[in-house]
Amino acid sequence: MKRRDFVRTMGAFSLGGLLPSPTVPYRLLPSLLVPMDDSQTDHLKAYGLTYRVIGAGLKAEWLLNYQGGAFLLPDGDAIRRDAALNGVRAEPVDAGRVTAIRGDIESNNMDAVPLEKAPKVAVYAPPNAAPWDDAVTMALQYAGIPFTKIWDPEVLNGRLKDFDWLHLHHEDFTGQYSKFFLIYSGMPWLADMVQRNSDTARRLGFQTVPDLKKAVARGIHDYVANGGFLFAMCTATETIDLALAAGSTDIAATFADGTPMDPDADAKMDWSQSFAFTGAHLEPNPLVATFSDIDGHQVNAGPRRQPLGAFKLFNFSAKIDPVPTMLVQDHRQVIPDFYGLTTSFVRSRLKPGVTVLADEEGAPWVKYVHGDLGKGTWTFFGGHDPEDPQHQIGDPPTDLSLHPHSPGYRLILNNVLFPAAKKRELKT
């Protein structure tokens, strides 16, 4: 059973009431409760602790909506030591307390989801990318969750099947170097990016970088369709959909592939191929570092730039919609917004069926969305760095040890643990 079936199955059972509640085997042995409300001393490292527990072959549970999305771990010296070293609050609870917790979960909008298999994590990033370039890499490093960096050759050589979870960050899948080509002309980092991408395209048999990136986007699309979990942030969200919808249409400016964008590109986009978006209009000006009207904030589009507000996480029914519930577990429901090359997603550009996980009330955009594709799922989260709202190129990196309670980073780590959730058995 693939992951998407797991999602469906969970929903079906909860709706039908076919399983005894709570729907996971009771843990009556002494346990450690890792609260995730304001009493937690390091929210981000708590995910790492849980990941290592299940990575060691032990079973854990994610108590959705209970104390901010707490974790229930088996008790043991090694786990206590790990928690102490990492400053994670973990409270020993006896069988009686566990029973009481389950009672609470049963009678409220809560659920207990077993976590069994530590997902194998891949981060799509160029080989020379610094660890601080990307919020997810930072979160994984800080939490102590191992990951493998992959790039275009690995995607095109079929390596994605070795991983359960793939993260994309600020890659520009339209192959236009985030449209910094003209604005940052002459900067060494840009020259290196262009050189590296051009070399890779040639080596892999593509005439242009946009062609290469489209093929990579297609590879990632297939990975999800075959059961993979995709989490994307910042400009990767928008550009992967543009690359997929473009197909053979030229949507890249002359500097990227030697030919101008097809003047009828808008009309030729095939949105049936994309993950999340539909009907977007492309930005034709190569000097404006924005790609389309998918992004609500248009941070680099001069007068079109919108100010930052705050986004609000939605409440879902834990027993009926466990997947979105997992993705929005947090100790804060309203979170200050943060810019990225793609900051948010305009509502009218979302495909029907996309689940909105967070939005800015009253604004025409949403922040955090989720959906299914084939046997897999994807989640898109706008913005670059939750703790650096105005992030600019050249800014100092974020030090997560100063933000151990970051609610924005928690959302990233929810996605990392989500693939660890055990699919429930179908009893019909």
Q: Is 144 in the site for other proteins (CB under 8 A)?
A: yes
Q: Which is nearer to other proteins, 95 or 393 (CB)?
A: 393
Q: Is 263 in the site for other proteins (CB under 8 A)?
A: no
Q: Closest separation between CB of residue 208 and other proteins, Å?
A: 24
How far is Cα 320 from Cα 177, in angstroms, rounded to an integer?
42
Considering only 141, 198, 278, 317, the residue that binds other proteins (CB under 8 A) is: 141
Considering only 194, 225, 288, 320, the residue that binds other proteins (CB under 8 A) is: 288
**SS3 sequence, 14-42?**
HHHCCCCCCCCCCCCCCEEEECCCCCCCC
Considering only 353, 392, 427, 428, the residue that binds other proteins (CB under 8 A) is: 392
How far is Cα 18 from Cα 208, in angstroms, rounded to an integer?
54
How far is Cα 246 from Cα 208, in angstroms, rounded to an integer?
15
Peptide bond into 22 cis (omega under 30): yes
Phi, psi dihedrals of residue 113, rounded to the nearest 5° = -115, 125
Map the footprint of other proteins across residues 80-119, applying CB under 8 A.
Answer: 81, 84-87
Q: Exposed, middle or buried, 41 (CB in 10 Å: 0-12/13-18/19+)?
A: middle
Tokens 């994307």 identify what position? 232
How far is Cα 300 from Cα 393, in angstroms, rounded to an integer?
12
Considering only 148, 205, 401, 426, the residue that binds other proteins (CB under 8 A) is: 401
Considering only 34, 289, 327, 411, the residue that binds other proteins (CB under 8 A) is: 289
Q: Closest separation between CB of residue 125 and other proteins, Å?
A: 16
Contacting range for other proteins; rule: CB under 8 A; set: 212-220, 254-262, 273-281, 395-403: 395-403
Q: Which is nearer to other proteins, 395 or 425 (CB)?
A: 395
Q: What is the end-to-end Cα distance of the chain in Å, rounded?
A: 15
Q: Which is nearer to other proteins, 270 or 399 (CB)?
A: 399
Chain contacts with other proteins (rule: CB under 8 A): 81, 84-87, 131-132, 141-142, 144, 183-184, 187, 284-285, 287-289, 300, 302-303, 392-394, 396-401
